[in-house]
Amino acid sequence: MKMAGAIIENMSTKKLLIVGVILLLFQVFSFMVGGLIAPSPTTAVPYIATKCVDVVHHNQRKNKWFTPWGPNQCNKIRDFEEATAKRIEANNIVFAVHIPGPNKEMSAWFQFMLVILQFDIAFKMYNQIDDGAVVTIDVGLAYRDDSVSEWTEMAHSIEQRKLSCNFTTEKTIENEGRYYECDLLPFMEVGNVAHKYYLLNIRLPVNERKQVNIGIGEIKDIRLVGIHQNGGFTKVWFAMKTFLTPSILIIMIWYWRRITLMTRPPVLLEKMIFALGLSMTFINIPVEWFSVGFNWTWMLLFGDIRQGIFYAMLLSFWIIFCGEHLMDQTERNRFSVYWKQIGPIVFGSFCLFIFDMCERGVQLKNPFFSIWASEVGTELAMAFIIVAGICACLYFLFLCFMVYQVFRNISGKRSSLPAMTRARRLHYEGLIFRFKFLMLVTLACAAMTVIFFIISQVNEGHWHWGDYTVQVNSAFFTGIYGMWNLYVFALLFLYAPSHKQYGDGQSNGDQGANSGEDIQLTTTITHVDGPTEIYKMTGKESQE
């Protein structure tokens, strides 16, 4: 009986080593692209709001936009003491922020714009911050594409943000004028930077009767931090996606063509590998190129959905990959067998999708919305994060347990190997080694993703090696992205059906050594189930 196995089963160790070295070189190159070529992924630009005076005359429009500098700049005041001296009420003060600063332009290559807000609040004995104080913000966002045209309103909203401020010294008259230490507050997120100039007009309306902006302390200034993706990193990222898309697409078509040439229908594991290739291709397709020319504000949400589909498919693939190699299972090759393991993954992915829709989905209409702005939203968001973290840990432990079970079962089956012919024994020993090696590589890929994420959070973003500066955060993004592409590429290539045939006849030369045994090999071919077909080996000694 002759059987066609996967390429990984029939490839010589030398060729397999060559493939591994080539993939490793591409992996190193993907890290180098981000570390040495691309700049830092994002840039943070601080702004301080300009205090404009809104004195509405009869011949002026109420919806006037206040620009801090330029041809039609507003009437400005230095501080609130000046406003008090001039009898200017708080309701007539507009905090204006022009993005970007003078002599600069925003670019569509920046991809997104995230703005964080912080209040500078001075301590006053007669005007302290109340516990649980909430600031009501009347904010408008406008844009234009040249320095002389009128501003066009993009969004307007009345938002509330809860203050979280601490006064680190004793609250006495001597310490009046010192500033509270206030937490940063989420303020705005725009999913596309389609215009050159943006303008924020922020008002803090005061209404004593309705207790609006009462008990929030003496606000001196409003500081903003604008965060956007670097254009240089965007171009490197797009180029990488453009290069990888045809690579995975071609190998995926080649893989499925080999599957369809088989006389049998594809098995579950082959379908899962193909589905994993589809999800990787879905991530790779560089639709972001269109965001440079079109105002597609939904690109951030779309990117989250694509990434979520890939990771859900990857987690499901690992479960099925291990499950199909648990040789003691009576039922295999059916998706329904794994519903208990796959169900929680699907449910968790759906919950994360709902969470993302509650945040970025709403931001498509109101860029100032944040689920973290309210107590209920914060508790809900923290609950999602905690549950997701617990589920991720439980999944990793369960995956390690399944890998351990597979390794233990394989070790148990190895007791049958001495009864085989020498050629067949060497064949199966090689397959067992390759399977173990692949599982360890899989766990290493998952661990590297976590490790590099932690490194990117705790370091300053770059390392200096002599005359070279290595952008660690960029290397993390391009390296991990390249790693998963290479992982999927390797699966599609190594698990494609091989043209080589492996039969019993090639190992008959050692049959005489087993003349006292009656060895029956019954093959349970679901065919190409991982790095080897799984054989049930039952040995019956002639006298036992």
Report which secondary-structure segment, H or E, holds 435.
Answer: helix 422-458
- What pLDDT does 519 receive? 31
> How many folded domains does the chain comprise?
2
Same domain assignment for residues 286 and 300: yes
In percent, the amount of the chain with pLDDT more than 90 equals 23
pLDDT score recorded for residue 62: 54
Are residue 162 and residue 263 in the same domain, yes or no?
A: no
For the segment 53-67, the average pLDDT, to the nearest whole number, is 67
275, part of any domain: yes
Q: Give dist(CA 287, CA 238) in Å, integer.
A: 9
254 confidence band (pLDDT: 50, 70, 90): very high
What is the residue-wise DSSP string for 350-384?
HHHHHHHIIIIIHHTT-TT--GGGSHHHHHHHHHH
Among residues 308, 358, 363, the alpha carbon closest in space to that of 192 is found at 363
Amino acid (1-letter code) at residue 480: I
Q: For residue range 416-466, list pLDDT tens digits in order.
A: 667 667 766 666 676 677 777 777 777 777 777 767 666 655 544 444 444
Mean pLDDT of the chain: 79
102: CATH: 2.60.120
Domain membership of residue 388 (yes or no) is yes
Torsion of CA 56, 58, 64, 69, to 10 degrees: -60
Q: Assess if residue 265 is contained within a domain.
A: yes
Pairwise pLDDT comparison (161 vs 5), residue with the higher score? 161
Which residues are within 8 A (CB) of 3 and not within 5 positions of it... i.e. 6 or more apart?
501, 502, 503, 523, 525, 527, 533
Query: What pLDDT is recorded for position 410?
Result: 74
Cα distance between residue 192 and residue 291, in whole Å = 7
Question: What is the bridge-based pairing of β-strands 462-465 and 185-190?
Answer: unpaired
Judged against a pLDDT cut of 50, whether residue 514 lies above it is answered with no
Residues 6+ apart with CB under 8 A from 520: 538, 539, 540
- Are residue 237 and residue 288 in the same domain, yes or no? yes
Average pLDDT over residues 136-159: 90
- Residue 513 counted as domain residue: no
Of 33 and 535, which is predicted with more confidence? 33
**C-alpha span between 80 and 431 (Å, rounded):** 77
Confidence of residue 520 (pLDDT cuts 50, 70, 90): very low
Taking only the tens place, the pLDDT of each residue in 461-503 is 444 444 544 566 788 888 889 999 999 999 999 888 876 554 4
Higher-pLDDT residue of 30, 403: 30
Q: Which of 178, 201, 229 is the last residue of a domain?
A: 229
Provide the pLDDT confidence category of residue 525 given band limits of 50, 70 and 90: very low
pLDDT at 454: 61
- Compute the distance between CA of residue 322 and CA of residue 405 in angstroms, rounded to an integer: 9
Q: Count the helices and strands in the chain (H runs, E runs).
A: 12, 18
Q: What angle do CA 134, 138, 140 make, to 5 degrees?
A: 140
Instruction: Give per-residue pLDDT as tens, 21-42.
Output: 998 899 899 888 888 888 888 8
Domain enclosing residue 100, as ranges? 42-229
Closest alpha carbon to 431 in 7, 17, 2, 21: 7
Q: Which two tokens stand for residue 499?
A: 């043209």
In whole angstroms, what is the distance from residue 345 CA to residue 352 CA?
A: 11
| 34 touches 474 (CB < 8 A) | yes
Residues 195, 242: one domain?
no
Give CA–CA dist 425/448, Å, rounded.
34
* Helix 299-323 vs helix 268-284: crossing angle, to nearest 10: 160
Q: Residue 156 falls within a domain, yes or no?
A: yes
pLDDT tens column, 79-99:
878 887 888 888 888 999 999
Q: From 206, 229, 252, give the residue that closes a domain.
A: 229
CA distance 361 to 354: 9
79 lies in the same domain as 199:
yes
pLDDT at residue 252 tops 90: yes
> Whole-prediction pTM value?
0.78
30 and 102 co-located in one domain: no
* 287 and 323, same domain (yes or no): yes
Does the CA dihedral 272-274-277-283 come out positive or negative? negative
- Answer yes or no: is 511 within a domain: no
- Domain assignment present for residue 508? The answer is no
Answer yes or no: are the C-beta atoms of 467 and 22 closer than 8 Å.
Answer: no
- Do 193 and 88 share a structural domain? yes
From 26-40, 160-174, 288-302, 466-480, the region with the lowest mean pLDDT: 466-480
Q: In the chain, what is the straight-line distance between the N-terminal and C-terminal CA atoms, in Å?
A: 28
| Residue 279 belongs to a domain | yes
> Which range is least confidently modeled, 197-211, 224-238, 516-530?
516-530
Distances (CA, A) of 179 to 79, 117, 211, 325, 488: 15, 16, 23, 63, 53
Region 96-106: mean pLDDT is: 90
pLDDT band for position 543 (cuts 50, 70, 90): very low
Residues 346, 218, single domain; the answer is no
Q: What is the pLDDT of residues 375-392, one digit of tens each?
A: 788 888 888 878 877 887
Q: Within this chain, do residues 305 and 173 fall inside the same structural domain, yes or no? A: no
Q: What percent of the chain shows pLDDT beyond 70?
A: 80
The answer to whether residues 136 and 118 belong to one domain is: yes
C-alpha to C-alpha distance for 155 and 175, rounded to whole angstroms: 40
Residues 37 and 50 in one domain: no
pLDDT at 245 over 60: yes
CATH number of the domain bearing residue 408: 1.20.1070
What does the pLDDT read at residue 436? 73
